[in-house]
Structure 1
Amino acid sequence: MNKPSSTYRVQLRPELTFTDAAELVDYLRALGVGAMYVSPVLDATPGSTHGYDVVDPTRARPELGGEEARKALSARLKAAGLGLVVDIVPNHMSVEVPKANAWWWDVLRHGRESAHAGYFDIDWSRGRLLLPVLGDDDAVADLAVEGDELVYYDHRFPLAPGTDQGSPQEVHGRQHYELVGWRRGNAELNYRRFFDITNLAAVSVEQPGVFAETHGEVLRWVADGDVQGLRVDHPDGLADPGGYLTRLREGAPGAWLVAEKILHPGEALPQSWPVDGTTGYDALREIAGVFVDPAAGPAFTRLAAELGGRTDYHAVEEQARRLVTDRILVAEVRRIAALLSGVETEAARAAVAEVMIAFPVYRSYLPEGGENWAAALELARTRRPDLGAALDALDAQVRGEPGGELATRIQQTSGMVVAKGTEDTTFYRFTRFAALNEVGGNPDRFGLGVADFHVLAENRAAAYPATMTALTTHDTKRSEDTRARLAVLSEVPDEFAAAVRRWTARRPVDEPALNLLAWQTLVGAWPISAERLRGYLDKAAKESKLRTTWTDHDEPFERAVAAWPGQVLGDAELAADVEAFVERVRGPGWVNSLGQKLVQLAGPGVPDVYQGTELWDLSLVDPDNRREVDYGVRREALGRVLAGEQPEVDETGAAKLLVVQKTLTLRRDRPELFTGYRPLHAEGAAADHLLAFQRGEDLAVAVTRLPVGLAREGGWRDTVLPLTEGVWTDVLTGRAVGDRPAALSLFDRYPVALLVRGDS
């Protein structure tokens, strides 16, 4: 297996091409990185800033430089001894610009007779292919015919052969597709989509021919030695994730293979999946959680309740998921319910929705993992005893034919309900403590104890030693350093509550959940421009779907939210108060940042560094986290570190870059050190503030946790860390520390230590 020592995620786009990425190779090599890990590189919708909207999987994206530039990047990486990991998107393709997707264009032109009709998951029994692109149904009057295309403003669609005579409306009536008002999409769409995005049409990749067509080019790159690893986007949307991953493994037998599978606490990857692990959200939840003080939970619950926020997480989550099944994924629920035999239509729809709302995890993989299906059925029966007969029929048909269409579609769609209902809605409604509201997170559990953390890390080292670990990704709700600063609030809950009461009295947001989220965001990302904060709060308000949404706007509320950042930052007295509070938590936030970074980089798994986060990065959810990275500043800081400088822990973030460079370089140069996992336990008055573990026989990691409480209790005092007998050296400082170092001296330069035993 081509397991990299580490990865560095680069977000390619027309402004950062293959050629631009090649210019980063020498920097990444010096940083200690094992492989460049890039966002999707197959041809995408024109102008796409992320690449997940693939239109042609048979070629490298021309806007990134095309095939020649891709090969040049690969050659540059090989020459430097770095690998290349590519993000692939098997679940869907973009149909936003129909003409850009030749397969979709052919389906629109020829209907079910198209050679590509089976490539997409379309329900042809409903008649014409529904395309919800018009302002409303009456807008068919605005259609025009130009040559062999039907035109609606900037939208263009092909005409079936021999159908171009008559008025545009008559021509439209002869097509294999029907253009309708955009609002009909959620309820009537007859092709499967990615979540609620009608511009992303699901692909039937479970068919061998479709798999071959969509994966042939990428697998050629793997076979040629240009690509060493694949990151699989959203496998839960596939009809048969296990079967797909088995076929992918057969096509790339030596590749490092990780799947973007979101695991709930306590959930394991399906045993049958031939992958090296996940993309790291489980590790993120655990590593971030151990830097949060669990004792603060009640104080934050009281604050949220006092401000009018809802504090029953499971009730909020149930309501949000119900919103998704009842208003957003209506077409999907209807399609599934129609497959349930012998049950009245409305009862079938209610039963299908209730089971998906009740899922304890994203989805089941029947017949594997049947306990999650059973748990969903049990909770659905408890909530809706009136649906007993329909639920029994659903259970019998699904279990009786786990590979059938009903079982397949309900499993595919449950993940959509959970993701949209929980991550994209609940996490913006239940804002008690935003640091916990992360992809794969569990906001209902306030922090993670050290003993539990060690158990989870030991399990990872034993079961999936080559899984990816991450602290920031292109999908995280906030960056690792923003989260690390917010974790400090768990150590000063009363101070923060008093500040929020004071600030809210002066400049409230007129919606309790958004108000509490806004103040946490301001503290976590400070200093932040009004423009960035405005963009974030607009997205948060619409995702919560409480006062406004992406499609049904409360214009006065949106204007008030848009004005809030400028009002707060323009209020000199209030801004000074916020800044003073941030000064209180900034230093401890840096301690948390360095601690969680070293735990990730030196712990079990293959660590990923998201672009730019080798320095402090206080980004928020996308698109904020896709801003341009200043590599000039990073190269200059790296040069100083390579010259032997040991930077201060200050606003430059150079101390974090030192931790990244020293740890990644050691992983790459001495991989034999990074095996296994064994908890280490400090002794003394402040032992609870020292998190430590050993890898193999000759590597130990020690970091500071809950630094505010540590200082409040009088510092490290007599705390020591017993190690295996021998000569130990801190790689970060180059100093010998002995085999029973006192925490006071171990952490006098940095709040973290990376210790190697022996002459090295």
Structure 2
Amino acid sequence: MTAPASTYRLQLRPGFDFADARGVVAYLRDLGIGAVYVSPVLEATPGSTHGYDVTDPTRMREELGGEDGFRSLTAAAREAGLGVVVDIVPNHMSVEVPSANPWWRHVLRDGSRSAYANHFDIDWSRGRVLVPVLGSADDLAKLTVEGDELVYFDHRFPIAPGTGEGSPQEVHDRQHYELVDWRRGNTELNYRRFFDITTLAAVTVERPEVFDDTHREILTWVNAEEVTGLRIDHPDGLADPGAYVRRLRDAAPHAWIVIEKILHPGEHLPESWPVEGTTGYDAMRETLGVLLDPAGEEAFTKLADRLGVRTDYAAVEQEARRLVTDTILVAEVRRIAGLLDGVDVDAARAAVAETMIAFGVYRSYLPEVESTWTDAVERARDRRPDLDAALTTLDQQVRGDPEGELATRIQQTSGMVVAKGTEDTTFYRFTRFAALNEVGGSPEVWGMGVDEFHRLAAERDAGRPATMTALTTHDTKRSEDTRARMAVLAEVADDFADAVASWTERCGIDEPSLNLLAWQTLVGAWPISDERLGDYLLKAARESKLRTTWTEPDEEFEKSVAAWPARVRDEVGDEVEAFVRRIEWPGWSNSLTQKIVQLTAPGVPDVYQGTELWDFSLVDPDNRRPVDYDLRREMLARFDEGLVPELDVSGATKLFVVQRALTLRRDRPELFEGYRSLSADGPAAAHALAYARSEDLVVVGTRLPVGLEAAGGWGDTTLTLGEGEWTDLITGATIAGGVAELSAVLTRYPVALLVRS
């Protein structure tokens, strides 16, 4: 296995297909990228804009150009010297359009006798497959029969052979499926799903025959060396993630494999997993954390209290997770509780729910990793001593058979509770400082010190040096540059608190957590259109589930949220813009520092599409807007002509830094072997973030730029370099070895990439 020097993530969709991806390969080569990294490429729900709703894993997606289009893309990448990394989805398939999913259609038609009956995680003991699609139970009267299909508006379902006589209701009653009110899905569904999405049915990939059927197409490309790497989506939903990655490694021995595993602070991948690492959310958390001013925490906590936003994170998270177990994942909790022997039904459900609520990480990995399971059970027992007997039985049964159905299902489902309860609910309720509310983030932990950052970087280099690192992904709550600018707010926390209090008094949103989130978002993403901001705030309001939800919207409240951006622009827009101008340059400094750190620190850096220039995006679908590659090509061409750009609103400097760092990493990999922290000396030493990747490569960035400027700059702060002459590959400046003045090293930019001649 040879890991790519770096990757560049492309979001494929009908408007940006294999041919379009092929068209940017040369640009990515010139940018210094090591591998083209694409979103799922297998057949998906018609019109899908992301590809995670796979409908047929045996075929390349025709809307993207099919097999010929994919082959053309991989050939272009190979000719340019780039690898190809593909995102795959082993946990679930889309069943939204049965005609698009031949396996699911077969199951609906033939029931438990179908050749694919066990390809999906269906509880056949409960009889017919529940399909929650009707507007109400009365809508059964609206069914019609058309040929060999049962039709409900745009939904079409197969009719089992020999069952098509009589009224539509009579035909329906003979089928292997039952169409029911969509509201019954959360409580009665009898197939496992992806989170709370009933149109994504879980696949039993733990069965060898199912693994073979779902992976045959993509492994053909891997073994032909057309595909050089795989990104595995949602491994925590699998019955046995460890067994899955071992089977995948056996099938693809030479592929670079990373998994979308979110690691909490202090958590590590099990040692037995033969993968290169994760998709990099842990590195994202660390890179932002080291740039955050600890002095800002008190002011932001006081601001939240002043505005009525809750600051007791543990309580907010616990309530959000309980909302998930009690109202959203009810069917899953019931199914797990039904496996618990000798316990009253209500006590069994409560014990299962409480244990999943108490998880400190996404899931446990029994029997290899027991501590997370033990911690969850003990925490549940502390919270609910009345459930001691039920929890003891649950613990004993799970430990006694760690590969049994009970242990498997509760581990699969805990990740759903954590993700829905924390990422998709708590992060929109606990809005004290939203830059920390990121996938893999810990909003209750305010950053980290420089020494801890270096320790973790060295640990990554020693343990999993080929893991992916990221700053922005298709799933992040906000882009890297938005977070970088928001990090500046911690340095001007008192002034921002006063401004928000004043703005809120004049035109706040009538829901405290959304109101505080809205002001941070407005400043972080400015300039942003009213439409983009309105769409984001509507999604945030529904995700928080406080005043409105996706399923039970409060129309009047949502109208006021939609109108808020225009109202703010009219009433306080000039003040907001002035505040943004004040923190804009420090935000650029943070952006460049976190970018050069990601591109040069241990791990394989991924560049999310478009973020090589300033990108102030928010959560999807905002972060999936089209990218202007013509503009980027033009800028690269100017660099080739000798331009060293100014640090300004164009973002050219970021592109310049990205190209210089990635090209060095690709062309001189020997410089990136090892990691050693470096410490500056002098009055501004705390503002330097520096390390050596080898004896001949030193990276320097700037921390807390507002404080640095207030203190008068670098002054006589120094950094000791090895003897000899050093060149900053970004600016071209030369620096003598020995004790170097940081004011000379960082004259033009807040970052430097120093290589010894």
Pick the TM interval, shorter chain.
Answer: over 0.9
1:527 equivalent in alignment to 2:527: yes
Contact residue 7 and residue 608 of structure 1 kept, 8 A: yes
- String of CA shifts for 1:433-487, please: whole Å, max 9, x gaps: 0110000000001111101101111111110100000000000000000000000
Question: Structure 1 length normalisation: TM-score?
Answer: 0.99
Paired residue type of 2:747: D
Q: Deviations over 1:149-208 (max 9, x none)?
A: 000000000001111111111111000000000000000000000000001000000000
The answer as to whether partners of 1:316 and 1:426 remain within 8 angstroms in 2 is yes
TM-aligned CA deviation for residue 2 of structure 1: 2.6
Secondary structure of the corresponding residue to residue 491 of structure 1: coil
1:713 CA drift (Å): 1.3
Aligned to 2:632: 634
In structure 1, distance between residues paired with 2:448 and 2:639? 33
**Corresponding residue of 2:744:** 745
Residue 142 of structure 1 aligns with which residue?
Answer: 142
Aligned-pair CA distance for 1:297? 0.8
Contact 1:2-1:229 within 8 A present in 2 as well? no
Give the counterpart letter for 1:747 in structure 2. Answer: L
Q: Is 1:242–2:242 an aligned residue pair?
A: yes
**What is the alpha-carbon distance in structure 2 between the residues aligned to residue 735 and residue 218 of structure 1?**
47
- Give the deviation of 1:726 after TM superposition: 2.1
What letter is aligned with 1:681? S
Write the distance in 2 (CA, Å) between the matches of 1:45 and 1:8.
25
CA contact (8 A) 1:673 1:699 kept: yes
Counterpart in 2 of 1:359?
359
Within 1, Cα distance between the matches of 2:57 and 2:639?
A: 41
Q: Distance in 2 between matches of 1:268 and 1:157?
A: 45
Q: Which residue of 2 aligns with 1:429?
A: 429
2:664 maps to what in 1?
666
Tell me if structure 2 keeps the 8 A contact 1:692–1:700. yes
Please state how far the C-alpha of 1:368 moved relative to its aligned partner: 1.4
Deviations 1:333-379 (A, max 9, x none): 00000000000101000000000000010000101110000000010
For each residue in 1:271-291, what CA deviation from the matched residue of structure 2 results, as whole angstroms up to 9, or x when unmatched? 111000000000000001111
Consecutive aligned runs of 4 or more in structure 1 exceeding 2 Å deviation: none
In the TM superposition, what is the alpha-carbon distance from 1:570 to its structure 2 partner?
A: 2.9
Q: 1:393 matched to which residue of 2?
A: 393
Q: How does 1:268-347 map to 2 (within 5 A)?
A: 268-347=268-347
Gaps of 5+ in 2: none
Contact 1:19 1:73 in 2 (8 A): yes
Corresponding residue number in structure 2 for 1:590: 588
Amino acid at match of 2:749: Y
Secondary structure of the corresponding residue to residue 180 of structure 2 = strand
Matches within 5 A, 1:134-533: 134-533=134-533
Aligned-pair CA distance for 1:553? 1.1
Separation (CA, whole Å) in 1 of partners of 2:624 and 2:681: 43
Distance in 1 between residues matched to 2:626 and 2:569, nearest whole Å: 24
Conserved? CA contact 1:429–1:544, under 8 Å: yes
1:728 paired residue number: 726
State the partner residue of 2:600. 602
Shift of 1:642: 2.0
- 2:57 is the counterpart of 1:31: no
Count of aligned pairs: 756
Helix, strand or coil at the partner of 1:721: strand
TM-score, normalised on structure 2? 0.99
Contact 1:598 1:659 in 2 (8 A): yes
Q: Which amino acid aligns with 1:693?
A: Y
Aligned residue number for residue 60 of structure 2: 60
Q: Distance in 2 between matches of 1:251 and 1:3?
A: 17
Partner of 2:691, secondary structure, is strand
CA distance in 2, matches of 1:649, 1:97: 49
* 1:734 CA drift (Å): 1.3
Q: Which residue in the other structure is 2:103 paired with?
A: 103
- Which amino acid in the other structure matches residue 229 of structure 1? G
Residue 640 (structure 1) shift: 1.1
1:90 alignment partner in structure 2: 90
Whole-angstrom distance in 2 between the partners of 1:726 and 1:399: 60
1:696 counterpart residue number: 694
Please state whether the residue corresponding to 1:741 is helix, strand or coil: strand
Shift of 1:7: 0.3
1:8 match: 8
Q: Give the distance between the partners of 2:643 and 2:277, measured in 1 at CA.
A: 36
Q: How does 1:40-51 map to 2 (within 5 A)?
A: 40-51=40-51
Secondary structure of 1:36's counterpart equals strand
CA-to-partner distance for each residue in 1:509-529, whole Å, 9 max, x for gaps? Answer: 000000000000000000000
Shift of 1:59: 1.1
Q: Partners in 1 of 2:750 and 2:583 — Cα distance?
A: 15
Whole-angstrom distance in 2 between the partners of 1:49 and 1:416: 23
- CA-CA distance at 1:690 after TM superposition: 0.3
CA distance in 2, matches of 1:345, 1:659: 60
RMSD of the TM alignment (CA)?
A: 0.6
Out of 642, 645, 649, the residue aligned to residue 644 of structure 1 is 642
Question: 1:201 and 1:642 mapped to 2: Cα distance?
Answer: 50
Q: CA deviation at 1:383?
A: 0.5
- How far is 1:238 from its partner? 0.1
Amino acid at match of 1:641: F
Q: Secondary structure at the match of 2:489?
A: helix
CA distance in 2, matches of 1:248, 1:358: 31
Aligned equivalents of 1:478, 1:525: Cα separation in 2: 9
Match in the other structure for 1:555: 555
**Residues 130 and 178 of structure 1 are in contact (CA less than 8 Å); yes or no, is this contact kept in structure 2?**
yes
Which of these residues, 613, 620, 623, is aligned with residue 621 of structure 2?
623
Which amino acid in 2 is paired with 1:742?
E
Q: Distance in 1 between matches of 2:239 and 2:641?
A: 53
> Are the aligned partners of 1:42 and 1:61 in contact in 2 as well (CA < 8 Å)?
yes
CA distance in 1 between partners of 2:2 and 2:225 (Å): 10
CA distance in 1, matches of 2:416, 2:272: 22
